[in-house]
Amino acid sequence: MDIRSLLVRTHLYGLALKARGLQNVALGKLLSMKDNIRTIGNPGLRALHRRLRAHLARQNRDWPHFKYASGYFYQSLDAIRVSGFRPTDRRFAAYELDRFLALDDEVLDVGANAGFLSLLMARHVRRVDAVDWNPYQVAIGQEVADYLGVSNITFIAVEFQDLAPTKHYDVIASFANHTTVDGGMTENRLRSYFERLWGMLKDRGILLFESHPWDVRDPRFQHTIEGVADLFATIETRRFAGGQTGRGQRLFYAFRKK
Ligand SMILES: C[S@@+](CC[C@H](N)C(=O)[O-])C[C@H]1O[C@@H](n2cnc3c(N)ncnc32)[C@H](O)[C@@H]1O
């Protein structure tokens, strides 16, 4: 390819990204308005939304990294009428997460974001530790847990690489965060990421894993998954069409620690 067509392609790609970014900002504003309407007539919920939006505003002002969902909520949660960019209750149902959870389990949710998936998992287990490096998202999760009266969840604002748990978990959830566009999890750390998860699980513990949409057709991702066969046995692999669990296709894996 000559330099000129390379420049044209780069320019067009930039424009497409810009358009997509603006689209996300517009979508966030639209969903925020929808949430406002969905809370009419419920003063307690409206007050909660105000507190959550204040955390988002602080994040958008002070967090130096990429803001998911253009600074709106990445995760939805039906119980508090937050629309979110990704449908948490629908993801929980599509992946049938309850099949992998038992009442006595201790669960770690890595890169939990606002912990809305963690809150749904908490209904089915003894304890959940929800870890995210973004303190504003962690504050949102804590606020919602208090509002819903969920007490068997601990929110921890820490970079996963610095997490030093004092226990082993029955189940670890790693949803769309083995690599992250905010730069917190990078591809060159992937093998050590899986090794750390392995080390944090109890014997025969379960790793629940969701891909990014772009992983679905990436041979390097397949290579990575095949490369952890020494650590984990695959219980199941499922592929979800775009729309079922949010935008874009996703792969869902349940692994058992070897
Ligand atoms: C794409 S979101 C996925 C969120 C959630 N797991 C889900 O699927 O709904 C990635 C999350 O990983 C978090 N994250 C990125 N790097 C991290 C790190 N080094 N340690 C902990 N969390 C991290 C981000 O703040 C973000 O909330």
Please report the sign of the dihedral spanned by the C-alpha atoms of residue 255, residue 228, residue 186, residue 163.
positive
Tens digits of residue pLDDT in 190-239: 888 999 999 999 999 999 999 999 999 999 899 989 999 999 999 999 99
| pLDDT tens digits for range 26-67 | 899 999 999 999 999 999 999 999 999 999 999 999 999 999
Dist. CA 180 → ligand 1 center (Å): 7
The alpha carbon of residue 57 and the mean position of all alpha carbons in its chain are separated, in whole angstroms, by 20
Structurally, at CATH architecture level, domain 88-257 sits in: 3-Layer(aba) Sandwich (3.40)
CA dist., res. 221 & res. 61, Å (int): 34
- Mean pLDDT (the chain, rounded): 92
Residue 6 C-alpha to ligand 1 middle, in angstroms?
A: 33
**What is the average pLDDT across 117-137?**
98
Among protein residues, the one whose CA lies closest to atom 7 of ligand 1:
175
What is the domain partition of the chain in residue ranges?
Answer: 3-80, 88-257
Token pair of 25, please?
A: 């900002």
Specify the residue with its C-alpha closest to ligand 1, atom 10. 177
Q: Which residues contact 180 (CB under 8 A, 6 or more apart)?
A: 111
Burial of 226 (0-12, 13-18, 19+ CB in 10 A): exposed
Residue 132, strand partner residues: 157
Nearest residue to 114 (alpha-carbon basis) of 72, 57, 74: 74
Of all protein residues, the one whose alpha carbon is nearest to atom 12 of ligand 1 is: 111
Mean pLDDT is lowest, of 11-20, 22-31, 79-88, 227-236, for 11-20
Unique residue bearing structure tokens 């874009």: 248
Q: Is the CB of 185 under 6 A from ligand 1?
A: yes
Strands (E), the chain: 106-110, 127-132, 153-157, 169-175, 201-210, 232-240, 250-257
Q: How far is the CA of 80 from the centre of ligand 1 (A)?
A: 21
Q: 2 CA to middle of ligand 1, Å? A: 39
Distance between CA 169 and CA 189 in Å, rounded?
21
**Structural contact between residues 55 and 136, judged by C-beta atoms closer than 8 angstroms:** yes
In single-letter form, the type of residue at position 103 comes to L
Q: How far apart (Å, rounded) are the C-alpha atoms in residues 75 and 116?
A: 7
d(CA 75, CA 246): 10
Checking if the pLDDT of 86 tops 80, the result is yes
- Closest Cα to atom 14, ligand 1: which residue? 111
Q: How far apart are CA 111 and CA 138, in angstroms?
A: 10
The pair of structure tokens assigned to 35 is 């949430």
